[in-house]
Amino acid sequence: MDEGITLRDEGISESSQAIDHTPKKWRSVNEIMAQCNMCIVEPESFEEADLDESWRNAMKAELEMIEKNNTWKLRNKAKLMAKGYSQKPRIDYNETFAPIARLDTIRTLIALAAQKKWNLYQLNVKSAFLNGVLKEEVYVEQPQGFMKENKEIRVYKLNKALYGLKQAPRAWYDEIDSYFNKAGFKKSPSEATLYVKTSEGAGILIVSLYVDDIVYTGSCPKLLEEFKNDMMQHYEMTDLGPLYHFLGMVCKEDDSEAANESEYRQIVGSLLYLTATRPDIMFASLLLARFMHNPIRKHMGTAKRVLRYIQGTLDFGIEFIKGKTTTLIGYCDSDWAGSEDD
């Protein structure tokens, strides 16, 4: 009886050892939610946001940006014009218009750049509305949870706009329009967010504004670089590099340019060597091997995609099991006319 129990226990132990339950990688809940594109509900109050460290850090970062931008000054004031959604109609309350680029303008700009073989670039203004200078007096209460010690009864007098103010969009547009005028740009008479700058012997620079996103192109790389550097000196900017995704439109460069032939050969040679134990990449590797001479960027991109596939399937391979019955299976496909490459 004891022997049978021992054998059964050994059998259970052997079967459990055959399966490796060790997790290969630990992931946080936030990382999983981000990969699943799950919607995260925003907190409805300060008390609720204060419970989350990430929201506390976001609030601190926003206030640091406001202080750095000299947006407000602490003052004694009994009369308040508080939060934007509770503002009462007064001076400039209805003047909230801020023009944005039309889709027709963006499409025309992209078409022109493609026809002229110009590069398109994109900049993003950090906290754009904080740069708008107010023309009227506006006071706001100190933010909950961030009140100055021993100065709780004081309020902030705004020098510049805040998100939520009715005047914020207009103030930002007036600010950026003033900058473009001083920088020598001419505004299009039919499109309020399109600016053009020309320089004798240097070429042309075209800029389109969509709230806090700036798309620009031109014929002279020097003008483009000078514009980017000047913008980053005047405002807190994020250089997004070449334009890729904008207003639902995806911009891709031509893949017909030549790729690094030496690097391409090394990648494909390694893939061919790996097919000894990875027959699942056999077809892709042999297809890539046909373009060893004068590969283009499209071929290089495909080769790197195979490398990414291998990175995600490192545990794939051929398993030879001792004593297992072998069945030979063959395939035949003579439809050569159906393949453009064959």
Q: With the C-alpha atoms ordered 99, 100, 106, 109, is the resulting torsion angle positive or negative?
A: positive
Tokens 């925003």 belong to 42
Q: Which residues, 6 or more positions from 29, have their beta carbon under 8 angstroms from its beta carbon?
A: none
pLDDT at 248 (0 to 100)? 74
Residue 54: pLDDT band by 50, 70, 90 thresholds?
A: confident
Residues with Cβ within 8 Å of residue 234, at least 6 apart in sequence: 179
Say how many C-beta atoms besides its own lie within 10 A of residue 82's C-beta: 14
How many residues comprise the chain?
342
What local confidence, expressed as pLDDT, does residue 79 receive? 40
Instruction: Return the CA Rg of the chain.
Output: 31
Selection from 92-106, 208-222, 233-247, 300-314 with the highest mean pLDDT: 300-314
* DSSP 8-state assignment for residue 189: S
Tokens of 309: 């596939």
Using CB atoms within 10 A of its CB, is residue 138 exposed (0-12), middle (13-18) or buried (19+)?
Answer: buried
DSSP state of 40: P
Beta bridge pairs of residue 296: 258
The pLDDT mean for the chain works out to: 77
Q: What one-character DSSP code corresponds to residue 51?
A: T
Provide the residue type at 280 as one letter: D
Enter the tokens of residue 56: 């506390």
Alpha-carbon distance of 89 to 133, in angstroms, equals 20
Burial of 72 (C-beta count, 10 Å sphere; 0-12/13-18/19+): buried
pTM above 0.95, yes or no: no
Of 120 and 159, more confident: 120
pLDDT > 90: percent of the chain: 20
Higher local confidence (pLDDT), 214 or 68: 214
Report whether pLDDT(7) > 60: no
Interval 288-305 mean pLDDT: 91
Alpha helices in 96-139 (DSSP H): 103-116
Alpha-carbon distance 100 to 189, whole Å? 14
